[in-house]
Every structure is written in structure tokens, then in C-alpha cells.
Amino acid sequence: MTRYSLVELSRRRILLVFFIVGAAGIALIAILLKVFTTALTGNVSFGGSGPAPDPVTLNRALELGFVSDIISVLGFFALLIAFGIGMTVIYHDLESGAAVAIFSKPVSRAAFTAGKVGAAVVAMIVIVGVLGIEARLFMFLFGTGDLGTALSAEAVAQVANAVTVMLLVMALSTWMNNIIAAVVAFIYNAAAGIVVALHTQDQAGLLGNNGVLKTALDVLYWVVPHQLISDAPREIAKAEFALITASTRDQGGPSSDQFLASIPSASGAADIIWWAFVVLVFASLVYFAVRRRQV
């Protein structure tokens, strides 16, 4: 089941297009930044009136910018690929009638679901993994590459987040048209993202002391999937802060704590357990949707 579902996915043009666009996007960002490094060395400064940065500082700033952009690109394409896979992997078998021949064989709906979910997750890991490897290769263009580990951790977090969205789309597309399923999942995902972001702001004390709002956000936070976050955003922010403070010495400015207040810290054990629980719930939803489906 998994093997031929993977063969099917590998021949789907839409996934190939997403992959090519993602790979080209990463390459483009890297090449543009390399061109800027070469062209702008000695002509820019941090903090406006400060001295022009040395090439090492500029290289460091561009590396941070690159990693930050790559994280955004990886996240975006992981989500696109999650929708691409989730909308097709089960839906097409059910809608085309292929499921009629498949379900008449001695295979249980649980095995069918497990095979499809397995194939979808493997495809997601392979596609985002290859994009992540490409990004790391390009990081060698920028020297040290000490944020490579942070990038890898963030790629893992992006895959984990995309898997929850993909499972939701798979479950919904077993009940309804796959485009409607994708729209519903998109809205749900966006709403969950807003809840998590507001909760983070609240935890950082940026939303005041409204008790009702605090309780509401605490409750909502534990009913939506949490986006897993690696320590990459915080590491990048710290490095950027260090770079800014180094180049604007003696001019005052925000403290490190103030600067990092709105940057979420890496997901803890509770968030990871919650993610695993959400994945289990969504995978069960896929199974129950497949089990109930009469073909």
C-alpha cells in the first residue's frame, strides 16, 4: 500500500511543481544574498549612523538573513506540500472508484489508512528533507554555517507542523470535496496559528493583565494544534541582536530580554506531547472517515 502510494505521489505533477518552485526559491535567495555580499561589502552600516561593518560582520548578517528567509520558505512549501499530498492521497482513490477494487481485496480499512498515512508522511519528509539539504548546501556559501543545526531542527519542526495539517486535509477530504477540505483546513490552521501567537504574546506579558482574555487564551491554546518551534528563530534573533549591539555600541537601545520578548522559545516537552496527541487524533479521524466511507 505504502510503496504504490509513494509511486503515485512521485508521479503527481503538482508535487513536482511545488518541489521545483521550492528548490528554485531557495537557490534564488542564496544566490541573491551572495551577490549582495559581494556587491555591498563596505557600503552598508547597521543602526544608521554607525561605522561601516567589516566583511565578516556583513557576511554574518547575510547568513542570518538567509537562514531566516530559508525557514520561511521551508515553512511555506512544507504547508503547500501538505495540502498537495493531503488533498490527493486518499481522495483520488475514493473519487475515481479505485477504492472499489482495493476494498474488495482482503485488506482492512485500518491497513489502507495506515499505508496511505505512512506514504504521505514519508513523501513529506523526503520532499522537505531534500529542500533542507539544499538549503544547508547553500549555507556553505556563507562561511561558518554554525546555524546549520538550527536550520535542521527547524526543518524537522516544519515537517511536524505540516503533518498535522496534512492529516486534517486527508480526513476532511474523505468526507467532502478535496478543495473544500483544503479551504476548511486552511482556515482552521490559520485560526490555530493566531491562537498560538496570541498565547505567546500573552505569556510574554505583552497583552496586559486581562484575566478573562488570559483564561480564554489558555483554554483555546489547549484545544488547537501547536506549531512546533525549534530554537532557530530565537538563535537567529539573539545573533541579530548581538550583531546590532556590536555595531551600535555606546548608542543605547533595547535590552536583550526586551528584544527577544516576542520571539517564541523552542517547544518544550508538553508541546511535543500535545503535537503527538493531535497527530494521533487526526490520524484516527482519517481512519474513521475511511471506515465509514461506503464506496
Partner 1 sequence: MAPVVSVDGLRKRYRRRDAWAVDGVSFALEPGQAFGLLGPNGAGKSTVVKIIAGLLRPDEGKVELFGSDPGNPTSRKDLGFAPEDPDFPKFLRAGEVLDYFASLLGLDETERKRRIPETLQFAGLDQEKRQVRQFSKGMKQRLGIAQAILGRPKLLILDEPTADLDPLGRRDVRALIDRLKDSGVAVLLNSHLLSEVELVCDTVAILAKGRVLKEGTMAEVVPEGRNLEDVFVELVQANAPPRDQLPSFITEKDKPS
Q: Contact positions toward partner 1, by CB under 8 A?
A: 1, 3-5, 7-8, 11-12, 92-93, 96-98, 100-108, 111, 294-295
Q: With contact defined as beta carbons under 8 Å apart, do 83 and 183 qualify? A: no
For the record, the C-alpha cell of 283 comes out as: 490520524
CB of 294 to partner 1, least distance (A): 5
CB of 290 to partner 1, least distance (A): 13
Is 210 buried (19+), middle (13-18) or exposed (0-12) by CB count in 10 A? Answer: exposed
Q: Residue 111 or 190: which CB sits closer to partner 1?
A: 111
How far apart CA 85 and CA 289 sit, in angstroms, is 17
Q: Residue 32 or 107: which CB sits closer to partner 1?
A: 107
Q: Residue 111 or 133: which CB sits closer to partner 1?
A: 111
CB of 43 to partner 1, least distance (A): 52
CB of 176 to partner 1, least distance (A): 17
CB of 108 to partner 1, least distance (A): 5
Q: Residue 55 or 97: which CB sits closer to partner 1?
A: 97
User: Which of 171, 222, 230, 165 is CA-nearest to residue 199?
Assistant: 222
Q: Residue 26 or 124: which CB sits closer to partner 1?
A: 124
CB of 283 to partner 1, least distance (A): 20
Q: Residue 75 or 84: which CB sits closer to partner 1?
A: 84
Q: Residue 66 or 112: which CB sits closer to partner 1?
A: 112
CB of 7 to partner 1, least distance (A): 7
